[in-house]
Chains A and B, each alone.
Chain A
Amino acid sequence: MTRRDALSRVSLILGGTIVGAELFLNGCGPSVPQVSATEFTAGTISFLDEVGEIIIPTSASSPGAKAAKIGEFMKTIVTECYEAKNQKIFFEGIGKLNEAAKAKSGGKTFLEMEPEAQKALLTEIDVEAKAYAKENVANPEAPKHYFALMKQLTLWGYFSSEVGATQALRYVEAPGPYKGCIPYTKGEKAWAL
């Protein structure tokens, strides 16, 4: 992100829900990460891959979040970039998500649920997370909802991944002279950054 991008990035100005990156741009003082990479077991990573794939699934035109190795991405960001307080929320969130799965499915873990049931559950939790964010809109210090973190990481990790940027979006390494005004037809993909 350059200064120009920062100046013109309205979502940030408006205190909106911009994904992922804003967590790190403000540089809240140093805090020692408490979660080490070893706590992300293979099981955790495949769990996160599944959650990510439901948020951003494979479609006819492009692979989904699993193909973008979203679980590995979350591991990197959570262990190395997150502040301790968000690491805690994220990790406790994995437990909470499984608790919610059990309550909903009569004792099954999230990974044991049927795909439709998984999607229905995450849809419900997403509504809950959005409502929570709305309640706290005036309080930027309020703890994040764990699912908001998972969803942010999924969108950020996916659209900045190679499959996301080059297949779900259009990535051009050297676009050539900037064209300020071209026609756009609905359905055409957005440019990747």
Chain B
Amino acid sequence: MADMEFDAIVVGSGVSGGWAAKELCEKGLKVIMLERGKDVVHVKDYTNATKGPWEFPYRGTRSQKMIEDYPVLKRDYPLNERNLDWWASDKDCPYTEVKRFDWFRGYQVGGRSLLWGRQSYRLADLDFEANAKDGIAVDWPVRYKDIAPWYDYVERFIGVSGNRDGIPHLPDGEFLPPMDLNCVEKDVAERLKVHYKGMRHLIIGRAAHITSPLEGQNRGVCQSRNKCSLGCPYGAYFSTQSSTLPAAMKTGNLTVRPFSIVTKVLYDKDTKRATGVEVLDAETNQTYEYKSKIIFLNASTINTTWMLMNSATDIWPEGLGSSSGELGHNLMDHHLGVRAGGWVEGYEDKYYEGRRPNGFYIPRFRNLSGEKRDYIRGFGYQGAANREGWSREVAEYGIGLELKEALTEPGKWTMGMGGFGEILPYHENKVTLDKTKTDKWGLNVVAIDCELKENEKKMRKDMLQDGIEILQAAGVKDVKGVDGDGTPGRGIHEMGTARMGLDPKTSVLNKWNQMWDAQNVFITDGSFMTSAGCQNPSLTYMAFTARAVDHAISELKKMNL
């Protein structure tokens, strides 16, 4: 059947799947993008995007019923009534926690690109060289110079607002105008510069929001509504829907098929190539086969590996791509939960306007320039200064008119921030197939076995102490810190399980994100990450995706695929 055959199949429609589809379509390939969840049409399906806070019965929070229905999602902020529809059902899609792992998934067209935090940072050679220098895991098969032009390329297309800060280990990009730091943050940045003699920086977050128009794209500039995770009616932040999907559709080469759970990558052992995928229709339970010359797997870290573990088990018992023994291993995230904050004296005559969907960033400053802590790698902080609102305590007034009037005015300034720490790639942190448990469709689920180890635990001590010290140095009052919940998964930056490397014996993918065991299969979601850095990773997935497509096309032209 001709309509079951395409030049390329893309599995998944989130940050990286959308990019794969766009690039492949623009190169002239006929592409089908398979998405396990429902369709979400740009703007039209952003049903809560323009509601006032009062239009939500629980004013944006959660009911006991929701808590019962979402035993995993309830563990952190994602469970709320405003965008419940965009988080996967814990009940339909269970998984096994050998150790606790908070897995927050978005199963719809656009995936978590609709929900992401939009922070967009480049990795640097500090990150790409780290495994080799530390002698752990395997070396990245790329260096910054290989990927820098692709960062440029994706930044120009998606629009990243940011300041050129000139920090060597957080390379500047092709930025749109930065958002403002507010008065307090600006002063704090200056104080830190003096106090730390230019060795620690507080910069405006680099965020994938349009702050000036992008030529040729139907996107509006950010209106500072801070309702991004409800979908942006202006298309001001990068999502599949606002950015890559319209570009792919424009070519006339893309077919999108929602409700398509890819259960297997089909493999031909004679040609040593994948031939297509098997799809289970999530609504009808019918199975279909789609064929193609090349396949991009972008189902998200863990799900991509799950698919491989379900495939070609007659040839490799552990699944397609498992010949190295590394498939499923080296699962990473960023560890969060360490926070610090306090209040700021003065500035009563200063305020801001707009709900900035962004904050400040303090890039990594540990284990640089020859410093050696009792752990390796490092962490950054993200936070903001704000004036208190009505939820503050007003000591002077109990109830009545005075209380009301006091609360209608802004309160004192506060400043808070949280750490994002690197997790090392440990072979023991892994996912496997749980053959004893099935989901709504009768498919075996994954078992996740992942934990923080000594390096992360030691790092968290610094994250806490340094956070407190930085805010104190900045003049923040009554600074308090807390080492909160750092359970893996809560960073929602799952990475690893199909790492890239230089040697097929120790890695799943080569330096082009191409599977050693089946060279027409490319993996460009977070699964390929060889180490995690401490920067928000989505921008890196986009850059590697665009680069991998470019390579795939040239290999196709050379008839190598």
Contact = CB atoms under 8 A, between A and B. Distances in A.
Contacts of A59: 401, 404-405
B270 interface: no
Query: Of residues B180, B186, B383, B404, which shows the largest number of chain A Cβ atoms within 10 Å of its Cβ?
Result: B404
Contacts of A14: 341-342, 478, 480
Contact of A2 (B117, B400, B415): B117
Interface stretch (A39-47, A104-112, A120-128): A120-128
A170 B534 CA distance: 38
Given A7-B418, A157-B59, A57 B404 contact: yes
B284 interface: no
B353 interface: yes
Interface residues of B, number: 89
B57 interface: yes
B399 A151 contact: yes
A117 interface: no
B196 interface: no
A161 B56 CA distance: 10
Interface in B211-230: 211, 221-226, 228-229
Interface stretch (A94-102, A138-146, A176-184): A176-184
A184 B225 contact: no
A14 B50 CA distance: 32
Given A11-B414, A151-B399, A180-B182, A76 B340 contact: no
Contacts of B352: 178-182
A17 interface: yes
A168 interface: yes
B340 A13 contact: yes
B417 interface: yes
B33 to A, nearest CB: 28
A119 interface: yes
A4 B408 contact: no
A103 interface: no
A119 B349 contact: no
B389 A190 contact: yes
B348 to A, nearest CB: 7
Interface string B386-399: 11111111000011
Contacts of B180: 178-181
Given A2-B77, A178-B352, A13 B416 contact: yes
A132 interface: no
Interface string B514-526: 0000000000000
B132 interface: no
Contacts of A183: 349-351
B359 interface: yes
Interface stretch (B63-71, B148-156, B271-279): B63-71
B343 interface: yes
A76 B64 CA distance: 11
B208 to A, nearest CB: 14
A186 to B, nearest CB: 7
Interface in A55-72: 55-57, 59, 61-62, 64
Interface in A130-184: 130, 151, 155-157, 159-162, 164-166, 168-169, 171-184
Contacts of B342: 10, 14
A13 B403 contact: no
B351 A7 contact: no
Contact of B61 (A24, A174, A176): A24
Contact of A193 (B53, B388, B393, B482): B53
B79 A171 contact: no
Nearest to B222: A177
Nearest to A192: B53
Contacts of B65: 80
B150 to A, nearest CB: 27
Interface string A9-44: 111011011111100110101111100000000000
Contacts of B50: 173
Nearest to A56: B404
A18 B391 contact: yes
B77 A3 contact: yes
A166 B385 CA distance: 24
Contact of A184 (B351, B355, B482): B351
B181 interface: yes
A81 B52 CA distance: 20
Given A13-B341, A81-B62, A3 B353 contact: no
Contacts of B351: 182-184, 188
B75 interface: yes
B74 A27 contact: yes
Contact of B403 (A10, A17, A56, A62): A56
A83 B409 contact: no
B297 interface: no
A7 B408 contact: no
Contacts of A130: 398
A90 interface: no
Nearest to B117: A3
Interface string B229-257: 10000000000000000000000000000
Contact of A126 (B59, B353, B389, B399): B399
B60 A1 contact: yes
Given A27-B62, A56-B403, A180-B180, 15 more contacts: A2-B117, A7-B384, A10-B342, A10-B416, A13-B416, A30-B67, A57-B400, A155-B407, A160-B60, A169-B408, A174-B223, A175-B223, A177-B223, A177-B224, A178-B354
Interface of A: 1-4, 6-11, 13-14, 16-21, 24-25, 27, 29-33, 54-57, 59, 61-62, 64, 76-77, 80-83, 119, 122-123, 126-127, 130, 151, 155-157, 159-162, 164-166, 168-169, 171-193
26 contacts: A1-B80, A2-B117, A3-B117, A7-B383, A8-B416, A17-B393, A27-B74, A81-B64, A130-B398, A155-B390, A156-B391, A161-B54, A164-B54, A165-B53, A166-B52, A168-B407, A177-B211, A178-B353, A179-B354, A180-B179, A181-B183, A184-B349, A186-B409, A189-B409, A190-B410, A192-B53
